Amino acid sequence: MVRRAKREAAFDAELADLPSELRWRTWMGRVEAVIFASAEPVAREMLARLVGRACNLDLIIADISDELSGRPYELASVAGGWRLQTRKGFADAIRAASGISEEGKALSQAEALVLAAIAYYQPIARAELSEFFGKEVSRDLIGRLRAQNFIAPGPRSPRPGAPYALVTTKTFLAQFGFESLRDLPDMEALEDAGLLAKENLLAGDFPSGFAAAGDADEGDDRPEADETAVDGTDA
């Protein structure tokens, strides 16, 4: 513990001995390096450990973004943090080089509409989704969304059997480029315009950002044998 404390104390975040311009460039390099090395968006509190207490982290981020303006990748604010990501214009080149087809990871229409409903109405139980769509939402479909880490179990639902309700995850925010759920298109405006109605979702008219691009936790929330699942299979 003593050795670890000494190592942590040895890290100089302030860099008070450096000239101001060099200090700023060093802070920029630290922030960019940590974001580059991370597989997940890096939160503000983690980046704040790398710079002086008087440093304006937002200005550091802005300067890094400016320097990347001519590069094929950019600094993006998603899921409550920052990450480096390839610009959309290079998606075709990446798919061609990697051999991954655009369809390979795209959500099906059924998956996209269920995910959109969860995003806007969370926390929501699978049975409530089935009632919303008028069709059984299959466990397999929910399992596929969970396997991609787009959704996770949330609080217990007050419905009989107390199944877990479903909520979206940070992976969902990062995948669709949202910093937080507040960045979702305004639900009330979409409802007023008729764009978030069940009929529109079933017809494939998704809100912007939702284009089709574990069961043990469900309590007694089991499908009826004669109901057809949203994804076209029997649940």
The pLDDT tens digits of the residues spanning 138-161 come to: 888 999 999 888 999 988 877 777
CATH number of 2-89: 1.10.10.10
141 versus 225: the higher-pLDDT residue is 141
**For residue 66, what pLDDT is reported?**
94
> At residue 216, does pLDDT exceed 80?
no
Report the mean per-residue pLDDT for the chain: 77
Q: How confident is the model at residue 218 (pLDDT cuts 50, 70, 90)?
A: very low
* Nearest one of 121, 111, 97, 232 to 184, comparing CA atoms: 121
* Nearest one of 98, 22, 36, 20 to 68, comparing CA atoms: 36
> At residue 5, does pLDDT exceed 80?
no
Convert the pLDDT of each residue in 93-129 to its tens digit. 877 887 655 554 678 888 888 898 898 888 999 888 8
For residue 136, the SS3 value is strand
Running DSSP on this structure, what letter comes out for residue 119?
H
Residue with tokens 């596929």: 144
Whether the model clears a pTM of 0.85, i.e. scores above it, the answer is no
Residue intervals of the chain classified under CATH 1.10.10.10 are 2-89, 109-218
Give the ranges where 79-160 is alpha helix by DSSP (H). Answer: 91-98, 109-121, 126-133, 139-147
Running DSSP on this structure, what letter comes out for residue 124?
B
98 versus 50: the higher-pLDDT residue is 50
Tell me the two tokens of residue 93. Answer: 């080149």
Highest mean pLDDT among 22-31, 136-145, 169-178: 22-31
| Mean of pLDDT values over 33-43 | 91
* Nearest one of 178, 181, 183, 177 to 167, comparing CA atoms: 181
**For residue 207, what pLDDT is reported?**
56
CA atoms of 154 and 108, how far apart (whole Å): 24
Convert the pLDDT of each residue in 55-95 to its tens digit. 999 999 999 999 999 899 899 888 889 989 888 888 788 77
- What CATH architecture applies to the domain 109-218? Orthogonal Bundle (1.10)
> Across the strands, what pairs with 82?
42, 77
